[in-house]
Chain A
Amino acid sequence: EEQLVESGGGLVQPGGSLKLSCAASGFTFSAYWMHWVRQIPGKGLVWVARINTDGSIISYPDSVKGRFTISRDNAKNTLFLQMNSLRAEDTAVYYCVREILTSQGFWGQGTLVTVSS
């Protein structure tokens, strides 16, 4: 069974840092582009970062560029999101996603990040 399991969410103060992890199983993790997408509870979906199969191609929207870093460890089937200089507006559920725009689109259950003092 294919699975994406996020972890690392929690409460952090403004200006703080947090590192999310996503453990993949049930499929060949190294063969797929991976993404992080966030959703403020009750609101829509917003793409946060993407990374290609070997980590050589990475991109972010301007809202997180310079603050967030996506990475992957194909040997450990794990995707990461390092989040620095966190702001209240970064509060959301963060989803680990395989291939958003192809037939292989598949989402984890998400992990909640709350930025508050």
Chain B
Amino acid sequence: QSVLTQSPSASGTPGQSVTISCSGRSSNIGSHTVSWYQQLPGTAPKLLIYSDNQRPSGVPDRFSGSKSGTSASLAISGLQSEDEADYYCAAWEDSLIGPAFGGGTKLTVL
């Protein structure tokens, strides 16, 4: 069981918007910032969002992050076929004295 909870799957059609959620507790999301990673098939994870809602340079503004209380969300607008990937949230977990990950959400572009 992952410390952070994500829905296992999400889907959308090209051009649509989709939101992926990540639920945690006061010991992780509730008191620490959230990062999001994209893992394309057969590749290593790539940073999409850090500090809840900041995009590294090179990440399209179609990707946005938000947080409220003990939950965080990743929104993807203008869905493209190349967005089909697994998405993971991550946050510091006090009891772990380390980072915790969500179980991942597999995004399918129909």
**Residues of A near any B CB (own CB < 8 A):** 35, 37, 44-47, 50, 59-61, 95, 100-103, 105-110
Most chain A CB within a 10 A radius of its CB, from B43, B46, B98, B104: B98
A-facing residues in B23-48 (Cβ within 8 Å) = 32-33, 35, 37, 43-47
Distance A35 CA – B44 CA, assembled complex (angstroms): 14
A-facing residues in B82-110 (Cβ within 8 Å) = 88, 90-92, 96-104
B35 contact from A37, A105, A109, Cβ within 8 A: A105
Contact A45 B98, beta carbon cutoff 8 Å: no
B68 at the interface (CB under 8 A from A): no
Report the number of A-B residue pairs with Cβ-Cβ less than 8 Å: 61
Contacts of A95 in B (CB 8 A): 44-45
Distance A110 CA – B91 CA, assembled complex (angstroms): 21
Contact B90 A100, beta carbon cutoff 8 Å: yes
Distance A35 CA – B91 CA, assembled complex (angstroms): 14
Residue on A nearest B51 in the bound complex, by CB: A103
Residue on A nearest B100 in the bound complex, by CB: A47
Distance A107 CA – B90 CA, assembled complex (angstroms): 14
B63 at the interface (CB under 8 A from A): no
How does the 8 Å CB contact mask read for B1-20 relative to A, with 1 for contact and 0 for none?
Answer: 01000000000000000000
* B side interface size, CB within 8 A: 27
Distance A109 CA – B97 CA, assembled complex (angstroms): 25
Distance A107 CA – B35 CA, assembled complex (angstroms): 14
Contacts of B92 in A (CB 8 A): 101
Contact B104 A50, beta carbon cutoff 8 Å: no
Contact A45 B88, beta carbon cutoff 8 Å: yes
A100 contact from B46, B99, B104, Cβ within 8 A: B99
A107 contact from B46, B54, B98, B104, Cβ within 8 A: B46
Q: A107-B46, A109-B44 are in contact. Are A61 and B104 (CB under 8 A)?
A: no
Contact B97 A105, beta carbon cutoff 8 Å: no
B56 at the interface (CB under 8 A from A): yes
Write the nearest CB–CB distance from A98 to chain B, whole angstroms. 10
